[in-house]
Amino acid sequence: MTRMDTVVHPPSGSVRGTTTGDVSRFLGVPYAASPAVTGWLEPPGPVEPWAGVRDALEYGATVPKNPYPWPSSELLEDAVHTGDNCLNLNVWTPDVTGSAPVFVWIHGGAFRNGTGSAQWYDGTAFARDGVVCVTINYRLGVYGFVDVDDTPANVGLRDQLAALRWVRDNIAAFGGNPDRVTVGGESAGAMSVAALLSSPLAEGLFAGAILQSGAGHHALTRECAQNIGTELARRLDVPASRAAVAGVPEADLLAAQADLLRDVQGDVARWGEAARNLMAFEPVIGDDVLPALPIESIRAGAGGDVRVLIGTNADEMRFFMVPSGAVDLVTTPALSAAVDAYGFADVPAVLDVLDAYPEGSPGDRLAAVVGDWFFWIPAIRLAEAREQAAPTYVYEFAWPSTARDGRLGACHALEIPFVFDTLDVEDGMRITGTGAPQSIAKDMHAAWVSFVTDGDPGWSAYQAEERTVRVFDTEPSTVVDPRPQRRAVWDGVR
């Protein structure tokens, strides 16, 4: 297919992309100044202007980060492109002269990994189907979420806000309609979307929100975040200040981050919600970006005018427990102890929880319990919190991967190549295995396109009296209140 250059002239500066068939793409476009100029731990500054036409032909630099930790590294690749100008985004568009709806994607990776340039986030299929697709980079780990003094926190969320403001001001030059923006994300990206949905600084920047395997329950109190920041500074042997931490060489800072992450996980008594969340660096409650825990603000009406599509995968935690072998090591006593110690203090009794999960080995049951607590129940709580808001639609992805002898089930992240219709890329095949049904990708991608375009994915909105859920599987279905016993055991929790 013939490929030709295409030049557009947004206010931020002219850029040259490429057009193949009916889709034009522009890669590595800066949406903010290089952190090397404004400060690696400082809020993003305005994009630096350039003269002439800037090439947007290749993916831009990625943010500083460690490789994916094991066992996530067994299933995911994490692209790395060197350079300092890492606050950049990518655009796929069906027509640079049009006014199409816009889908802005925030990648996942536990707030410490990932990039908008991953293969399976290629936006070609969205552009093919009439949607402008934008994927972004934002600062991660220490660089995005360390909190050590009274200076602004949540730099990673501020990057996301800067990207959305860039979209508002520039996307028309790429053929997008700034009044029809939907923001979406998966895992930490979905948690970011919940944070933005709740943030007063994001008002008016998007009309729709898609949350895949992440909701509004996971953020750190300022006390917890500063406890972690102080410990990081102690290990680096520098004062607990943003300036001092920023002065540490990148390799040393990332090494200390990795060591601290390992120590935080599992020590709930010392590290509180950071240990329960398994994330030491994540959004922090208590500033102008995130005044309260997102679910609390959403319950109070924040983001009430935004349409929402939210859901989870049927076997989320098997992504983490199968490659590591942990699923086979859990004993019945260890299962009870884990449920008791993992932070379910407000559950009336451990056995009340376990009785609702009778099937499978102890490891299978633990994966189901923790997956529901961490992913499914927060998604349900967010949908319930929006009873008086704009429509909220709920889905579940249920097709089991064929990778790892089929033991992954419908695990975390598995739905991504179906949403983007990128089943044929290596990133997707590592987790889907062979034989992933194109029919599911067709249905799921079409539902996302419909939601971004019209605000309706094609099934009834979620209401407490009906609890309508669309299930994506080999045979798709629309069901009411799947697994009611498992849902009910968490009543009154979180």
Q: From the candidates 12, 34, 187, 297, which is the catalytic residue?
A: 187
Tokens 């403001």 correspond to what residue? 165
Q: What is the DSSP string of 195-209?
A: HHHH-GGGTTS-SEE
What secondary structure letter does DSSP report for 469? E
Does residue 187 have an active-site annotation?
yes
pLDDT digits (tens, 9 = 90+) for 113-147: 999 999 999 999 999 999 999 999 999 999 999 99
Tens-digit pLDDT string for the chain (494 aa): 678 899 999 999 999 999 999 999 999 999 999 999 999 999 999 998 899 999 999 999 999 999 998 878 888 989 999 999 999 999 999 999 999 999 999 999 999 999 999 999 999 999 999 999 999 999 999 999 999 988 889 999 999 999 999 999 999 999 999 999 999 999 999 999 999 999 999 999 999 999 999 999 999 999 999 999 999 999 999 999 999 999 999 999 999 999 999 999 878 888 988 988 889 999 999 999 999 999 999 999 999 999 999 999 999 999 999 999 999 999 988 877 776 665 554 544 545 667 788 889 999 999 998 899 899 999 999 999 998 999 999 999 999 999 999 999 999 999 999 999 999 998 889 999 999 999 999 999 999 999 999 999 999 999 988 999 999 999 999 999 999 988 988 887 66
CA distances from 162 to 60, 117, 130, 170, 294 (A): 17, 18, 25, 12, 19
Give the CA-trace dihedral at 327, 332, 336, 341, to 10 degrees. -50
Q: What is the pLDDT of residues 286-343, one digit of tens each?
A: 999 999 999 999 999 999 999 999 999 999 999 999 999 999 999 988 877 776 665 5
CB 472 within 8 A of CB 439: no
Question: Does the active-site annotation cover 81?
Answer: no
- Residue type (1 letter), 401: S
CA 351/CA 363 separation, integer angstroms? 16
CA distance linking residue 273 with residue 255, whole number of Å? 22
Cα dist from 288 to 38, 59, 73, 198, 221, whole Å: 20, 32, 35, 11, 14
Verdict on whether the full-model pTM lies above 0.85: yes
Q: Is 316 a catalytic residue?
A: yes
Selected catalytic residue, list 34, 412, 415, 445: 412
Which helix H or strand E contains 451, and what residues bound it? helix 438-454
- 316, 396, 401, 415: which is the annotated catalytic residue? 316
